[in-house]
Structure 1
């Protein structure tokens, strides 16, 4: 998995993403996502490139689904 903090300088200003993007997903809830990323020492304002955002999105959704079983 990519480290969000290493994404700095890998994208143009318009291509910067943060975990705040995850507040628009239906599942998991945003508060759950914040806790999930905090465990990985990733804060709300850490930057992601698009590739990392998609990767973290999939992994967090998979983790959410497993926790709901």
Structure 2
């Protein structure tokens, strides 16, 4: 995202999902399976469950607050 801004992008589109508690997380997929290997829908997971997930390359699943906070 930072690189996009540096190149002059004026708009940023984020695909969002919600946790069981309604927190917005950045993900194109409704399920965590492709990114993390965990076969659960984000909407069925709590914030605590999502916050401990790691992608296949070791990155966290970001909340919208993480991105813009």
Q: Same fold (TM over 0.5)?
A: no
Larger proportion of strand? 2
Return the structure number with greater relative CO, CA threshold 8 A, min gap 6.
Answer: 1
Larger proportion of helix? 1
Normalising by structure 1, we get a TM-score of 0.30
